[in-house]
Amino acid sequence: MARVVQKFGGSSVADAESIARVARRVVETQQEGNEVVVVISAMGDATDDLMDLAQRVNPNPPGRELDMLLTAGERISAALLAMAIDARGATAVSYTGSQAGVITTAAHGNARIIDITPGRIVSALNQGHVVIVAGFQGVAQDTKDVTTLGRGASDTTAVALAAALGAEYCEIYTDVDGVFTADPRIAPQARRIPQINYEEMLELAANGAKILHLRCVEYARREQVPVHVRSSFSDQPGTWVVAAPDIPSGGIMEDALITGVAHDLSEAKVTVVGVPDRPGRAARVFEVIAALDVNIDMIVQNASVSDDTTAISFTLADADRPRAIEGLRLAQRDIGFTDIIYDDMIGKVSVIGVGMRSHPGVTARFFSALATIGINISMIATSEIRISVVVGEDDVPAAVRAAHTAFGLDSESGEAVVYAGTGR
Ligand code: ADP
Ligand code: ASP
Ligand code: MG
Number of the ligand 1 atom closest to the C-alpha atom of 12: 3
The reported pLDDT for the residue numbered 248 is: 55
Given a cut of 70, the residues of the chain with pLDDT beneath it are 247-256, 304-306
Distance, CA 28 to ligand 2 centroid (Å)? 25
Run of H or E residues at 74: helix 63-87
Ligand 2 neighbours, Cβ below 6 Å, are: 9-10, 41-42, 47, 73, 135-136, 151-154
Residue 40 β-bridge partners: 8, 134
The reported pLDDT for the residue numbered 251 is: 47
**Residue 144: inside a domain:** yes
Q: Verify that 114 and 76 share a domain, yes or no.
A: yes
Q: Verify that 67 and 48 share a domain, yes or no.
A: yes
The reported pLDDT for the residue numbered 205 is: 97
Q: Verify that 171 and 42 share a domain, yes or no.
A: yes
The reported pLDDT for the residue numbered 359 is: 82
**Residue 422: inside a domain:** no
The reported pLDDT for the residue numbered 302 is: 83
Nearest ligand atom owner, CA of 152: 2
Q: Residue 210: how many CA atoms within 13 Å on its side-chain side? A: 14
By most ligand atoms within 8 Å of CB, the mutation choice from 15, 48, 176 for ligand 1 is: 176
Give the predicted TM-score (pTM) of the model. Answer: 0.93
Cα–chain center distance at 148: 15
Write the residue with the smallest CA distance to atom 6 of ligand 2. Answer: 152
Number of the ligand 1 atom closest to the C-alpha atom of 181: 23
**Residue 236: inside a domain:** no
Nearest ligand atom owner, CA of 43: 2
Question: CATH no. for residue 400?
Answer: 3.30.2130.10
**Residue 11: inside a domain:** yes
The reported pLDDT for the residue numbered 136 is: 98
Report d(CA 228, CA 245) in Å as an integer: 13
Nearest ligand atom owner, CA of 50: 2
Report d(CA 124, CA 119) in Å as an integer: 9
Say if residues 132 and 121 touch (Cβ distance below 8 Å): no
In the structure, how many helices (H) and strands (E) does the chain have?
A: 12, 20
Give first-to-last CA distance, the chain, whole Å: 38
- For residue 304, the enclosing domain spans 267-343
Say if residues 288 and 337 touch (Cβ distance below 8 Å): no
CB of 385 shorter than 6 A to ligand 1: no
Write the residue with the smallest CA distance to atom 17 of ligand 1. Answer: 211
Say if residues 202 and 154 touch (Cβ distance below 8 Å): no
Question: CATH no. for residue 272?
Answer: 3.30.70.260
Distance, CA 115 to ligand 2 centroid (Å)? 20
Report d(CA 311, CA 272) in Å as an integer: 6
Q: Residue 252: how many CA atoms within 13 Å on its side-chain side? A: 22
Nearest ligand atom owner, CA of 14: 1
* Residues by chain with Cβ below 5 Å of ion ligand 3: 9, 152
Packing angle of the helix pair 281-291, 321-330 (nearest 10 deg): 130
* Tally of structural domains, the chain: 3
**Phi, psi (rounded to 5 degrees) for 382:** -135, 155
